[in-house]
Structure 1
Amino acid sequence: MTLTDIAKKNIRKNLKDYYLYVNSMIISILIFFTFKSLQYNQNLLDSLGTVDKVESALNAASFVLILFAAVFIFYSNAFFTRKRKKEIGLYALFGMPKERIAVLLFFENLIIGSIALFIGIIGGIFLSKLFTMIILKLMGVKVIVGLSFSLRALIFTSVLFLIITLISSVQSYRLIYRFSLSELFQADRKGERVLFPSVIKSVLGVLLISIGYWLVLDSDATALGLTGGAKILVCVISLIVGTYLFLSTTVLFFLQILKKEKGTYYRGSNLISISQILYRIKSNVVMLTIITILSTFTLFAMSTSYNLYYQTNKISDEQFPVSYVIKGNEETKNEIKNLINSYPQHKVLYELKMEYLSVKADVSKIGRVPEWFQTILISEKTFKNMLDARDIHMDLKLDNNDAIAFYDGNLDVHADPYTNKNVKIIDNGENLKIKAYKSFTLLNQGQYFFPLVVSNDFYSSVEKEIPASTAFLFKIKNQKDSESLSEKIDARMLEKTLSEEPYLYSNFFNGYQKLKETYGLLIFLSGFLGLVFLLATGSMIFFKQLTEANADQDRFVIMTKLGMKPKDLRKSIRLQILLVFLLPLVIAILHSAVLINALSNFIGMSATIPFLTSVCAYVAIYFGYYVLTVQNYLKILQQRRN
C-alpha cells in the first residue's frame, strides 16, 4: 500500500473530525474567489461611479482574508496534528521513518486542500452572480447581471491556497520532529501552559482595560497627552493586554472564590463543573484572548458600516442640502425649471437666486482648504434669504471684515476648524477674520469651493473690483428618486458650466448615489469578512473543545462509574462549554459597545439600532457553534462509554 493510499484511507477514517475544518476552508476559498472575481469583473466596475474605491476595497479585503485564512488554517492544522499524535506514534513504533510520516501528512493535506479548493471554486463561480447582485443592490446600482468566470481569479486563488497547504504541511512536519516517541503517546496529557491567578496582574488587567476605555471616550483627545495615531495605538495595546490579563487572572479569582463557597461548591455537580471550568480557562487563555479581540473588531466593523448605510439618508440631507446648484442666467434658470416641471413628482419646494463673488484668496492659514479650491463670498443679505428658504432662524451681525464658515464634512462634528482663522482676499488685499463657524452645510459638499458669508459692506467693496456671478438653487420633492431628471439636467448643464471658468454646479442625486455606493460597498465587505471571522473564531473553540473531549474521555468514564448521573454529566459539560463561548463574547460586546459609543459621539450619529442588529446576528451564528460543539462533545463521550 502506497503512502497515497494510506492518506486516502486516513481521510475517510477521520472524515467526521475533518468536516468542519474542510467546510471552513471551502467557505474561505469561496469568499476569496468571489472577491477576486468581483475585482476582475470589468462589467461590474464599468457600471459603478466609484471604480477606484471598489477595486482598492476588494483588494484590501482580499489581503485581510489571505492573512486570516492562513492563520486559521495553520491553527486548525496544528490542533489536528496534535490530536493524531498517538496515531503518528504508532507509525513510528512500527518502524516508519519520520520523513515518510511527514510525506504522508503532506499527501493528506494536499488531498483535503484540493477537495476544498475544487468545491470552493465551483461554488464561487455560481455564487459570484449572487454576490454581484447583492453588492449592486446595496450600492443602489441598477444593472442586469450575468454569470461570469474569471481565469485570473481562478489562478490567483489556486496558487494562494496551494501555498497555504504547503506551509501547513511544513508546520505538521515540524510538530512531528519536536516530540519523541514517548511524548507522542502522552499527547493527551499535554496542554497549553497553565496560568495561575495573581493579584497584581488582576488589578493591572482591569486598570489597562479602564485606560483603554478612557482613551476611547476622551472626546477632547488630550488623555495622557496623546493624540492621533499614538492615542489609537496605546488604546489598542491597553485593550489587548488588559483583556489577556483579565481572562488569565480576574476570571480565575472569581472561580477560586466560588470554590471557597462550600454551600455552592459541593452542591450537585458544581464541584466537577467549577473545577473543569477553572482548568479550561487556564489552558485556553491565549485562544480566548484572540477570539475576544477578533470578535470586538468584527462587531465594531459590522456596526460601523451598517450604521453608515443605515444613516445614508440623514448624511446625504446634511451634506447636500440643495437639490441643484446651477451657475447661469435667467435663461438657464427657466430651462432647468421647465425640465423640473416636466416631472410632476418632483415639485419645486423652493427656488432661490444667489449672487456671489468668486475671488482669489490665500487660505493657507486655515490649514484644511486646498489652495486650488474656489473661494466664494456671499453677502449677509443673500445668506439670510437662504436661511429663510431652509426655515433656519439665526441672529446675525457681522462687522466689516468678519466672515462665517460652515461645516465641510469633517468627521469630528464637535470640532471647530475655522473660528479666528484669517483669509486674505488677494484681489483687493483685504484680510477676513472668520468670526463664527456654523455646524451645517451651506452649499452642497464635494464641489471644490469654499463658501464664506461676509458683511454687506465688505461684499460691496469687493464687488467694485470683481463682477458678481449668479447661481440658482432648487429644492425639489422626492429628490432621492430623481435619477432620470438629474441625468437630463446633467446633460444640459455640465457642458455649459464646465466651459466656464470658474464653474459652479452641484446635483443632490449624484452625491446621494456616491454615498450609497460607498456605504453599500462597506457593508458588503464588512458583512462577508465578519462572517469569515465568525466562522474562524467559532471553529477555533470547536476544534479545541473536541480535542479536549478526546483527552477527557477516560475522566468522564470514571465519573460515571463513581455514580455521576448521565444527566448531571451532560449539564456539567454544557455549562463548561457555555462559559468558554460566553466569556469572549460578553467581553467583545462590551469592548465594541464602548468603541461604537465613542464613534457615535465623534460623528454625531446614534448607532444603537445598527449595533444591536449586528450583535443579534453575531450571537445567533455564535450560538449555533455552541450547540454544534456540545452535540459533538457529547457524541465523543458517548462513543467512549459504548
Structure 2
Amino acid sequence: MLAKLAWNGMKSKRKDYIILLAGLVMSIAIFYMFQTLALNRDFTSENAMISSMQLVFNVGSCLLAAVTFFYILYTNMFLLSLRQQEYGMFMLLGAKKQYIKRLMFVENLLIGIIALIIGIAAGAGLSQLTAELIMGQLDVTLEGYQPFYLPSLAVTLLFFLVLFFVTAVWNHIKLSRLQVLELVHAETKSDQVPQQPKKNIVTITAGILALAAGWLSLIFMESLRELGVFSAAIMTTLGTYLLFSSLLPVITNAMKKKQKWNENGIQSFTLSQLTFRIHSLKKLLATAAMLIALGAGAISGGMAFKNNAENIAERSAVYDAVVHSPTAEEEEILEDITFTEAAEYRYKKGEEYNYYLKEDLEKQRPQIQLTTDNVKRVEADLPDQEGSLEEVEEESASIPNEWSQFLTMTAAEDYSRRPLIVSNALYDDIEAEEQVVFIGKADDFLAYRDQWAKLDELREEKLASSEEVMASTSKYSMYENYNTIATGTVFMGFFLGIAFLAMMASCLMFKVLSGAAKDIPRYEMLRKIGVPKKLLNQSVFKELFLVFLFPALLGITHVLIGMNMFSFIIVNPYYRIWISLLLFTTIYVLYYLLTVKMYKSVVLPEEK
C-alpha cells in the first residue's frame, strides 16, 4: 500500500522528476563522452600535438568527477526535497520511519540506475553524432576514435553506481535526523538570508589567493609543466567555489541596498528573490563557471591550434605565391587571386649562377623576414658593376645580405646555383633562355586555398620532370602539413567544448526549473495585487540575467588567462580568440532566452 502511495506521489510530480532525470542523464552522457577520449590512449597519443595530453586528460577527469559530484549532490538534495512532505504524511498515518528510509533508498538507486542506462546510451549516441559533425566540418577522418568504448562504459558505470549509492546513503542519514513535523512543514520553511557578510572576509581572501595561485600556474605553465597542470586545476577550482560561496552573497546584498535600483519598478522584488535563494545558487553557479571555463576554453584552444597553422605559414614566408616561369594554366590561376603586392623578376640560368637583372630588383624592392615577428622591405643599395661577367662573378660575395637572403630563400628555384645580380648590358650578353619568377602576397591567404593547392599540384608536376634540386616547399604546403598534424587536437578541443557546454546548460536549466514551482505563489501574489505582466516579465529577464552573468564573467576570465598556457606551443594563442568567444556568447545567449521562456511558462502561464 505504501509503495503504491509513493508511486502515485511520484506520478503527481512527474514534471519535477522528468527535470531531475534529464539532468542526471545529461551529466552521465557528458562524463561518458569525456572518457571516450580520456581513456583511449592510442587515439590521443596519435592525434595530439601536446606530448603530455594524457596527463591533461587525467587531470581533466578528476576535475570533471569533482564537478559531477557536486552536481549529483545537488540533484540528490532536490530529490529529497520533492518527497519530504509526503514522507512526513506517511509517518503521521502510521508508517514506520525505517520503512520510509528503505523506500527512499530504493527509489534513489532506481532513479540512478534508470538515468545511468539512458545516459550511457545517450552518451554513445552524442559521441557518434558530435564526432561526425566535427570531422565533417574539419573535412578529415580520424582513425582510432570509438564512440562506444568499453573502458569508458566500465568507468562510467562504476563511478556513477558508487556515486548514486553514496548519495542514497546520505539521504538515508539525513532523513533519519529529521523530525516528523520538519518533514510535514518542509515546503513552508523560509529561505535563509546571508547575515553579516564581513564574516566572509577570510573565505573571500582565501578564494582570491587560491584563484591567484591557479592563474599564475596557467601563466607560467611553460616553467611549471606537469606541476602547473595539477596546481592550476586544483587552485582555480578551489578559488572559484570559495569566491562564489562568500563573495556572491555580498554582491547581491550590496545591489539590494542600492536605493536607486530598488525604487525602479519591481526591482526590489527581483533582487530580494535573488538574495533569498543565494545559498542554493552559489555552489551550482560555481559549477557552471568551471564548466563554462572548460567548455569555452576547449573550443578556444582547438581554434587556437587551427589558427596557428596560418600563423606558422605567415612566419615561414612573406609571399604567398612564388611561381617560376608560369605556364598558361598557372597564369590563369594567378589571375583569380587578388594580390596586394606582386612582382616579376627576370633571370637567366648559368652553370654555376642564376643571373638576376639589376633593373627589376631596383624597381621592385621585395620584403624579407628578418625574424619571426619582423618583416621589412629591402633597402640596401645594389653594387655598381663594372667590367666583364667574369670579374662580376669573382665579386659575387659583395651582394648585400638582404638581397642575398631574398634571392636565396624566396626567389631561388633550386639549390644548385648561387644568385648573382648583373646589369642590363651583362644580362643581354648571357646566352641562355630568359626565365621569370613571380612573387605575390594575397589579400587573404586562406581565401584562396583551392588556388594554392592547384599551384602546388602543378609545381609537383614540374618537379617530377626536372633533374634540378628544387627549393623548399611552398607556403601553402607548410600550412597544410601543420594543419593536418593539428587536426586531432582541434577535434578534441571542439568535442570536449561541446560536451562541457552541454553539461553547463543542463546544470543551469536544472537549477532554474527545479526552483520554479516554489516561485509560483510569489508571482501569483504580485499579479493579484495588480502588478502588470510586463513588469513581471522584466523581473524574470533581470533575475535570470544575473544568474547567467555571474558564472559567465568568471568563466570567460578563466579562459582569457588560461589561454596563456599554450604560449610556448602556439605562436599566438589569442589570435582570433574573439571568434570562439563570440560563438560561445551566441550559444549562451540563446540558451538564456530558452531558459527564460521555459521559466516564464511555469511561473507566468498564459491566462485562459
Q: TM-score range by the shorter chain?
A: 0.5 to 0.7
Please tell me whether residue 607 in structure 1 is matched to residue 577 in structure 2.
Answer: yes
Cα deviation per residue 1:425-474 (whole Å; 9 max; x = unaligned)? xxxxxxxxxxxxxxxxx99xxxxxxxxxxxxxxxxxxxxxxxxxxxxxxx
Aligned letter for 1:276?
Q
Change (3 A) 1:274 1:307: same
Aligned letter for 1:520?
F
Cα deviation per residue 1:467-509 (whole Å; 9 max; x = unaligned)? xxxxxxxx999698599979x99xx9xxxxxxxxxxx999834
Aligned letter for 2:509?
G
Please tell me whether residue 633 in structure 1 is matched to residue 597 in structure 2.
Answer: no
Query: Cα distance, 1:151 vs. partner?
Result: 4.6
CA RMSD in angstroms comes to: 5.8
Q: Distance in 1 between matches of 2:218 and 2:149?
A: 47
Q: How does 1:263-412 map to 2 (within 5 A)?
A: 265=262, 269-281=266-278, 284-309=281-306, 311-317=307-313, 391-392=367-368, 394=370
**Larger proportion of helix:** 2
Query: Cα distance, 1:624 vs. partner?
Result: 1.9
Contact 1:196 1:249 in 2 (8 A): no
| Secondary structure at the counterpart of residue 96 of structure 1 | coil
| Secondary structure at the counterpart of residue 392 of structure 1 | strand
User: 1:371 is matched with which residue?
Assistant: none
Q: Distance in 1 between matches of 2:74 and 2:331?
A: 62
Q: Distance in 1 between matches of 2:369 and 2:315?
A: 19
Q: Distance in 2 between matches of 1:626 and 1:204?
A: 32
Cα deviation per residue 1:171-195 (whole Å; 9 max; x = unaligned)? 2212212211122123234466531
Aligned letter for 2:501?
G
Q: Distance in 1 between matches of 2:587 and 2:25?
A: 22
- Number of matched residues? 493
Aligned letter for 2:302?
S
Query: Cα distance, 1:615 vs. partner?
Result: 1.8
Out of 567, 586, 592, which is 2:533 matched to? Answer: 567
Query: Cα distance, 1:122 vs. partner?
Result: 3.5
Cα deviation per residue 1:112-157 (whole Å; 9 max; x = unaligned)? 2333233334444544432332353466533699997545544443
Q: Distance in 2 between matches of 1:206 and 1:85?
A: 37
TM-score (norm 1): 0.59
User: 2:164 is matched with which residue?
Assistant: 165
Change (3 A) 1:128 1:593: closer
Q: Distance in 2 between matches of 1:345 and 1:37?
A: 48
Contact 2:218 2:565 in 1 (8 A): no
Query: Cα distance, 1:45 vs. partner?
Result: 7.9
User: 1:622 is matched with which residue?
Assistant: 592
Change (3 A) 1:585 1:235: closer
Aligned letter for 2:255?
F
User: 2:115 is matched with which residue?
Assistant: 116
Query: Cα distance, 1:314 vs. partner?
Result: 2.0
Aligned letter for 1:392?
I
Change (3 A) 1:8 1:44: farther
Change (3 A) 1:583 1:522: closer
Contact 2:256 2:268 in 1 (8 A): no
Aligned letter for 1:612?
L
> What percent identity do the matched residue pairs reach?
20
| Secondary structure at the counterpart of residue 141 of structure 2 | coil
Please tell me whether residue 525 in structure 1 is matched to residue 521 in structure 2.
Answer: no
Change (3 A) 1:20 1:307: farther
Query: Cα distance, 1:89 vs. partner?
Result: 0.8
Aligned letter for 2:486?
L
| Secondary structure at the counterpart of residue 195 of structure 2 | coil
Q: How does 1:439-458 map to 2 (within 5 A)?
A: none
Contact 1:202 1:250 in 2 (8 A): no
Change (3 A) 1:134 1:484: farther
Out of 545, 554, 558, which is 1:588 matched to? Answer: 554
User: 1:87 is matched with which residue?
Assistant: 86
Query: Cα distance, 1:81 vs. partner?
Result: 0.6
User: 1:23 is matched with which residue?
Assistant: 22
Query: Cα distance, 1:62 vs. partner?
Result: 5.2
User: 1:542 is matched with which residue?
Assistant: 513
Aligned letter for 1:315?
N
Q: Distance in 2 between matches of 1:19 and 1:219?
A: 40
User: 1:252 is matched with which residue?
Assistant: 253
Contact 1:26 1:119 in 2 (8 A): yes
Aligned letter for 2:584?
S
Q: Distance in 2 between matches of 1:289 and 1:180?
A: 32
| Secondary structure at the counterpart of residue 141 of structure 1 | coil
Query: Cα distance, 1:22 vs. partner?
Result: 1.2
Change (3 A) 1:29 1:557: closer
Contact 1:135 1:520 in 2 (8 A): yes
Please tell me whether residue 129 in structure 1 is matched to residue 128 in structure 2.
Answer: yes
Q: Distance in 2 between matches of 1:300 and 1:247?
A: 23
Q: Distance in 1 between matches of 2:330 and 2:531?
A: 76
Out of 483, 508, 521, which is 1:512 matched to? Answer: 483
Q: Distance in 1 between matches of 2:270 and 2:126?
A: 44
Contact 2:304 2:573 in 1 (8 A): no
Cα deviation per residue 1:295-334 (whole Å; 9 max; x = unaligned)? 345434433433433x1432331576599xxxxxxxxxxx
Change (3 A) 1:49 1:629: closer
Change (3 A) 1:6 1:197: same
Aligned letter for 1:302?
I
User: 1:184 is matched with which residue?
Assistant: 183
Aligned letter for 1:314?
E
User: 2:426 is matched with which residue?
Assistant: none
Query: Cα distance, 1:392 vs. partner?
Result: 1.5
Change (3 A) 1:200 1:90: closer
Contact 1:272 1:572 in 2 (8 A): no
User: 2:392 is matched with which residue?
Assistant: none
Change (3 A) 1:65 1:485: farther
Contact 2:301 2:493 in 1 (8 A): no
Q: Distance in 1 between matches of 2:205 and 2:145?
A: 54
User: 2:543 is matched with which residue?
Assistant: 577
Contact 2:45 2:51 in 1 (8 A): no
| Secondary structure at the counterpart of residue 194 of structure 1 | coil
Contact 2:214 2:231 in 1 (8 A): yes
User: 1:69 is matched with which residue?
Assistant: 68
Change (3 A) 1:193 1:485: farther
Q: Distance in 1 between matches of 2:586 and 2:454?
A: 35
Task: For structure 2, list consecutive stretches of 5 or more residues without a partner in the other structure.
Answer: 221-226, 335-343, 346-363, 375-407, 410-438, 441-447, 465-471
